Amino acid sequence: MFPSEKRSLTRFLIIYMFSTLFLISIGIAIFYRYDYHRLSDYQNEKLKTQTQNLIPKLRELHKSFDEVLYYPVQKGLNSAIYDIDKNYLVGDLKPSPYFKDKMDKNEEFWRDGDYIYYLTKVYPHYLGAAYLISRAKFDPSPINELREKLALFFLLSAIFVFFIAYLLGKLFLFPMKSALSMLDDFIKDTAHELNTPVSVILANTELLKEFYPNLQTSEELSRIEIASKRLSRIYDDLTFLKLNHKRHRNVKEIDLSSLAKERAAYFEIMAKARRIELKAKIKEGVFLRMDFEDAAKLMDNLISNALKYTKPQGEVEIILDEKFLIVKDNGIGIESRYKKFVLRRFFRANDSEGGFGLGLSIVKEIVDYYGFRLDIESEPDKGTKVEILWGD
């Protein structure tokens, strides 16, 4: 999967899932509210019926002339009667100070802790009862069961939505994937087709210089060499990006000082041709654990970029120390609005120079792979300083 494809799919999945699950959540919330009330109402009605059954029993007591009158006590139900002035009369439900408030407000049902309460008016006032308050333990199991069912439903919905979103994403991204795949193949084929002639040109340039020493200083031959080397680097960059994930890195202790000197010498011809002064302050004996090809690519891209965007008579400096590599120039610099894009693949802030916009993208990939730090400081018309730091 291409990184851009992966990124698009992830974004699509997030947006699709978030919006769909948000709508499902609203539906679940409405259903939960409705069913919660239904289940609560069922328990309220049950309590109401039990309480209403007490009133005929109060009537019986009121009419009875027995010496002892037994207040109707029911299992799972507590009740008490209050007179019209809201004074507690009798019952197996202890009086509570807030009951008076409930009687004032004439509230029918309420919840307090684990109990549901019911208040009803009584008339005629048997035993003097004007109010009858009852309570029963609230049974949370149907509500818990409802919550569990809804949670399961939400989970299954999320899984289902994820699969649908994934399939839709794949379906929508298929044309893009095909186009990217074609582009990738095209780059691979083009790079492959370029490699052989470029290698032949470079080899023959070397041979010409060797067989005809008077051509050593030939400007025309130098231009051919520079152009060929540039083509060769483009080929290297393209193959690096294409085969980056498949290439085996041989990470070992390498002599960065020697490599830096070699690369500086390599770019010397190009710098001279562009009338740019290439300075190198390379500390001896700097060793670093990394793949040799990665190190060469890192330096090549930084030096090549610096040379590319430095005007004639300008200056490019390579500084290598124990803990850092700096490549700085006094070239055209990077406009602040482009700074955040320069590390993106195929981004080019300036079309005046050739290239595919791969240089800094490759540098970033290598830096990220080894956990180095990359700092870019740049000011338009003043120059750019790229610093790579490793170690502490």
Partner 1 sequence: MGRLIFLIFFAVFSIGGELDRCDSCHLQKAPPFNVIYRKYLVIYSSKRRIEENMVNFLTDPSKQKGVFPKEAKKIFFPKEHPLYDRKEAKEAVRELIEREDLLKKVRVTKPRE
Smallest gap, in angstroms, from Cβ of residue 131 to partner 1?
A: 9
Host H or E run for residue 20: helix 3-52
Per-residue x/- track, 295-324, partner 1 (CB under 8 A): ------------------------------
Subset of residues 10 to 69 that bind partner 1, contact rule: CB under 8 A = 61-63, 65-69
Choosing from 32, 71, 109, 266, the residue that interacts with partner 1 (CB under 8 A) is 71
* Cα 307 from Cα 276, distance rounded (Å): 7
When the beta carbons of 69 and 151 are compared against partner 1, the nearer one is 69
Choosing from 70, 106, 214, 351, the residue that interacts with partner 1 (CB under 8 A) is 70
* Cα 311 from Cα 331, distance rounded (Å): 6
When the beta carbons of 86 and 230 are compared against partner 1, the nearer one is 86
What's the gap between Cα 311 and its chain centre? 41
Is the CB of residue 316 less than 8 Å from the CB of residue 277? yes
Binding status of residue 104 toward partner 1 by CB under 8 A: no
Binding status of residue 103 toward partner 1 by CB under 8 A: no
What's the gap between Cα 162 and its chain centre? 16
Smallest gap, in angstroms, from Cβ of residue 124 to partner 1?
A: 4
Contacting range for partner 1; rule: CB under 8 A; set: 29-37, 89-97, 221-229, 348-356? 89-97
Residue with tokens 């298929």: 174
Long-range interactions of 195-198: CB distance < 8 A, separation 24+: 195/235, 198/228, 198/231, 198/232, 198/235
User: Euclidean distance between the first and final Cα of the chain, in Å?
Assistant: 35
| C-alpha dist (Å) from residue 113 to 80, 116, 120, 210, 304 | 19, 8, 20, 98, 75
Amino acid 350 reads N
Binding status of residue 87 toward partner 1 by CB under 8 A: yes
Binding status of residue 84 toward partner 1 by CB under 8 A: yes
Binding status of residue 267 toward partner 1 by CB under 8 A: no
- Of 197, 327, 312, whose CA–CA distance to 260 is shortest? 327
Smallest gap, in angstroms, from Cβ of residue 86 to partner 1?
A: 9
* Cα 377 from Cα 333, distance rounded (Å): 9
Smallest gap, in angstroms, from Cβ of residue 129 to partner 1?
A: 7
Tokens of 154: 């939400």
How many other C-beta atoms are found inside a 10 Å radius of the C-beta of residue 90? 15
Overall size of the chain counted in residues: 392
Binding status of residue 99 toward partner 1 by CB under 8 A: no
Subset of residues 124 to 163 that bind partner 1, contact rule: CB under 8 A = 124-130
When the beta carbons of 81 and 288 are compared against partner 1, the nearer one is 81
Q: Count residues near partner 1 (CB under 8 A).
A: 26
When the beta carbons of 128 and 142 are compared against partner 1, the nearer one is 128
When the beta carbons of 83 and 317 are compared against partner 1, the nearer one is 83
Binding status of residue 83 toward partner 1 by CB under 8 A: yes
* Cα 147 from Cα 35, distance rounded (Å): 10
What's the gap between Cα 226 and its chain centre? 44
Is the CB of residue 79 less than 8 Å from the CB of residue 132? yes
Binding status of residue 377 toward partner 1 by CB under 8 A: no
Per-residue x/- track, 204-243, partner 1 (CB under 8 A): ----------------------------------------
Smallest gap, in angstroms, from Cβ of residue 105 to partner 1?
A: 19
In the DSSP assignment, the letter for residue 84 is T
Positive or negative torsion for Cα 198, 223, 327, 329: negative
* Cα 303 from Cα 316, distance rounded (Å): 8
When the beta carbons of 66 and 219 are compared against partner 1, the nearer one is 66
Smallest gap, in angstroms, from Cβ of residue 101 to partner 1?
A: 19
Binding status of residue 89 toward partner 1 by CB under 8 A: yes
When the beta carbons of 14 and 73 are compared against partner 1, the nearer one is 73
Contacting range for partner 1; rule: CB under 8 A; set: 5-13, 70-78, 222-230, 336-344? 70-78
Smallest gap, in angstroms, from Cβ of residue 154 to partner 1?
A: 47
Task: List residues near partner 1 by CB under 8 A.
Answer: 61-63, 65-71, 73, 83-85, 87, 89-92, 124-130
